[in-house]
Each structure stands twice: as structure tokens, then as C-alpha cells.
Amino acid sequence: MDRLLRLLLNTFIRRGTFKVTTSRGTVLAFGDGTGQPVSVRFTSRAAEWGILLDPELKFGESYMDGTFVVEEGTIADVLAIALGQKTEVPHWARLQGLLRFLYRRFEQFNPRARSRRNVAHHYDLDGRLYSLFLDADRQYSCAYFKRPDQSLDDAQLAKKRHLAAKLRLSPDVPKIGLAKKELRLLDIGCGWGGLGLYLADFGSADVTGVTLSQEQHGIANARATERGLSRRARFNLQDYRDIDDRFDRIVSVGMFEHVGVNHYDTFFKKAAELLADDGVMVLHSIGRSEGPSRTSPWISKYIFPGGYIPSLSEVLPSVEKSGLLTTDIEILRLHYAETLKHWRERFLAHREEVERIYDRRFVRMWEFYLASSEMAFREQNLMVFQIQLTKRQDVVPMTRDYIMREELRLQGVENARRAPLRLAGE
């Protein structure tokens, strides 16, 4: 087994400084000696066989079970080396990858009942978990870092502001003599309501949000009531496919990854039905900079069942068939890597509390999820895309200047709402 490990890992790990102690106590060294040294240890032969025979699934499972132990560095450092090699998976595992690609449409078949189960698996966890590592507004999607030193809360606020600007809630030149129209806005996959409440409060929109998560549904409506926005922002426990209405604006953030490649035509056809003729839609999703692929089996089994990260070449044909026009595409590259770094560090700072809520295996599972996701954005081909869609060519301006102007306007409104600081006793 030791010789087999040496032979196969030598063909895969060419970069970095990576030391492996086998279950028999043999120490093996791999890489070119660069970067931060990492040392790991196998505690069982079963773990060694698992990682050799099915690395995409068994790597994460071995770490969760404690049969793959990181002795120098962190699991994030290990994943940085593993995902930073020239090939995404070891050469000997490529046949498995091909078979999983062929199987992906079955895994991503997400009718209504299955979609609800998939969402409950991840989003209906103990509510205390997310409060430990997300920002104060519970934004569970890619933040928008305008500066490297920006805090997570500020970057998530910048993301909401950026999306609001692209939605054109306040056109630059209002029609003279006409009262300002209160725009009806649909938020597909509204999460805990943070974006919808921002758009209702600072964008003066009439917001309807939909989610399949019971936890998110209850919290979002409670937050709307607490902020006195329940008349302008309501959140429904509903599948987007069952909506029968018309909206001036549609936004969807971090939900498209759960749709599944089989349902892209349905998603955009439904969006086209719901969007007004002079409406604007913005879709924010994780994507691939390369061609179509498949979901990691470990992610599919433990984190996001039924989920898939699409390439633009899979998304745009469905947009075209729906009759919607693509008016803007923006690619956010390392923004999600920085977001995930913040989440991972916050999560680990509260690992004892998470262990009290669940157990040690759950802690390692989520640490592996956050670290592997971060390193996939840093070392591989993942990114985030924002696609702006309309039904007419003249709905949005000809240049992108309006986005910055509207962001500055919204920032001014936010600053005006903040209570001024006072000295004690004033």
C-alpha cells in the first residue's frame, strides 16, 4: 500500500511541499518544495484505499471521520495544494469523473417535492449555525469587495447596493408630470430576506420573496415585521414555478445553483412570463469559467443535493430560447474566495459552539465544505456571474455609467439613515 500511495500521489502532486505519514508509519514526501509545508497522516488503511479509489468522495469523508488528520497546516492548506495542481482530479480518477458527468442529469432532476427536500437538507439546519459565521444581515452569497481590506458586512452591503443599481429601481430621468411608479419586485430564492428588505427600504420597491426553506420563510417575515416593512415586503413559502403574477423587476441571488441543468429552460421561460415588458431581471449565480462539468460527489452527498454550478455556455442558450435579452454580464472572480475566507475564519472561531449544537464530525464536514469551496475559487475555474435581462433593447442605458451613479445615490441614502454618533451624556 505504501508503494502504491507513493506511485500514484507522485503522479498528481507536483507542486508544493506535502508530507504524508501512512497508517504503517511510513513518511512520504511529494511536490517541488515550494510554499507552506503541509503534513498529513492516515490512521487506517481503509482511508488510504478510499482516497486512492474515489478521491473526490473519500477525501472529504476521511477528514470528517478523523481517519485523515492534518498535522501541519490546516485542511485549507491541504486543499490549496490539492486543487492547485494542473489537473482537477488525479489521472486515475478521470473515468469516475466521466461516469458522474453522464449521470448528472438524473442527480439534478429537481421536481417540486425533491427541490423542497434538497433545500431543507441545507437551509433548514439549526438557525444558530448561520448566525455564527454570516454577516449581520445573513447574506449567504458572494459579497462584493470594492477594497481588499473591506469588512464582510460592508462587502455584503456593497453587493446589495450593486444589485439594486442594476435593477434600475430609480431611473436617472423620471417622466415629468407623472407620479413615481412603485415597482413590483420578485426575489426568487429570497434567503433570510436581507436583499428583499434592502430593496423595499432603500429602493422603495414592493417586494415579494419566495423560498422553499421553512426556516428562512419564518425569519424573513419576522424581520420584515420588526423593521416595519411588512406592507412592502412579504415572503412566501413557494416554488417559483407556481407563481402566477407580473413583476416590474426580478432578482435571483444564489438560487440558480439549485435549479439543475434539466430545468434551465423552465426557469427562464417562467421568468419571461413573470417579467413586465419594460421590466429588468438580474440573475446572480456561481458559474464555471470553463465548459460543462458535474457536481463534486462529496458536495452532492453532504452539502447541496441536487445542486450544480453551470457554465455560461449552458445558461445562455436557455436565455435565448426564453425570448429574454441579455443586456449585461459581469464576472466576479475572487470575490467569493474572499467571502468564503471570512466565513471559514468566523466558523472556526465558533467551532466549539457548533460542536455543542451538532458534533465534531459536523464541524469537520463544514470546515471541509468552506475550505474546499474557497480553494476552488482561488485555484480553479469557479467565478460568479451577474446577468441582466430585459425584453426590450431600450429599457436600460446604452453605457454602464448608471450603475456607479446609482450606487453613490444609494450609499448617500444609507449614510443619511445612520444615527449620528454621540458622546456619553449627550
> At residue 159, what is the residue type?
K
Of 25-39, 85-99, 346-360, which gets the smallest average pLDDT? 85-99
Assess if residue 405 is contained within a domain: yes
> At residue 32, what is the residue type?
D
Domain co-membership, 226 together with 362: yes
Domain co-membership, 95 together with 214: no
CATH number at residue 352: 3.40.50.150
SS3 (DSSP) at 70: strand
What pLDDT is stored for residue 112 in this prediction? 84
- Segment 166-177 shows an average pLDDT of 68
Q: Of 187, 309, 199, which Cα lies nearest the Cα of 236?
A: 187
Domain co-membership, 198 together with 218: yes
Q: What is the pTM of this model?
A: 0.92
Domain-ending residue, one of 69, 100, 131 = 100
Domain co-membership, 310 together with 393: yes
The confidence band for 173, taking pLDDT boundaries of 50, 70 and 90, is very low
- Separation between Cα atoms, residue 129 and residue 360, nearest integer Å: 14
What pLDDT is stored for residue 178 in this prediction? 45
Of 52-61, 80-89, 206-215, 325-334, which gets the smallest average pLDDT? 80-89
Domain co-membership, 25 together with 164: no
Domain co-membership, 194 together with 270: yes
Domain co-membership, 119 together with 51: no
Domain co-membership, 367 together with 398: yes
Instruction: Find the domain containing 266 and state its range.
Output: 112-417
Answer with the residue of higher pLDDT: 108 or 384. 384
Average model confidence (pLDDT) across the chain: 92
pLDDT in tens, 97-149: 677 666 667 677 778 888 889 899 899 999 899 999 999 999 999 999 999 89
Of 28-37, 91-100, 322-331, which gets the smallest average pLDDT? 91-100
CA dist 386 to 66, 189, 368, Å? 39, 15, 27
Domain co-membership, 258 together with 165: yes
Domain co-membership, 31 together with 78: yes
Answer with the residue of higher pLDDT: 290 or 151. 151
Domain-ending residue, one of 71, 100, 129 = 100
What pLDDT is stored for residue 105 in this prediction? 73
- Separation between Cα atoms, residue 46 and residue 54, nearest integer Å: 12
Domain co-membership, 281 together with 363: yes
Percentage with pLDDT > 70 across the chain: 92
pLDDT in tens, 362-381: 999 999 999 999 999 999 99
Answer with the residue of higher pLDDT: 87 or 23. 23
Q: Is the pLDDT confidence value at 174 over 80?
A: no
Assess if residue 305 is contained within a domain: yes
What pLDDT is stored for residue 250 in this prediction? 98
Domain co-membership, 347 together with 214: yes
Q: Scanning the structure block, which residue is given the C-alpha cell 480518477?
A: 93
A 10 A CB-CB count for 416 gives 7
Strand arrangement of the beta sheet that strand 206-211 belongs to: 233-237, 206-211, 184-188, 247-253, 275-288, 382-390, 325-332
Q: Is the pLDDT confidence value at 177 over 50?
A: no
- Segment 5-14 shows an average pLDDT of 88
Task: Domain count for the chain, please give it.
Answer: 2
Domain-ending residue, one of 75, 100, 125 = 100
Assess if residue 341 is contained within a domain: yes
Q: Of 159, 110, 103, which Cα lies nearest the Cα of 304?
A: 110
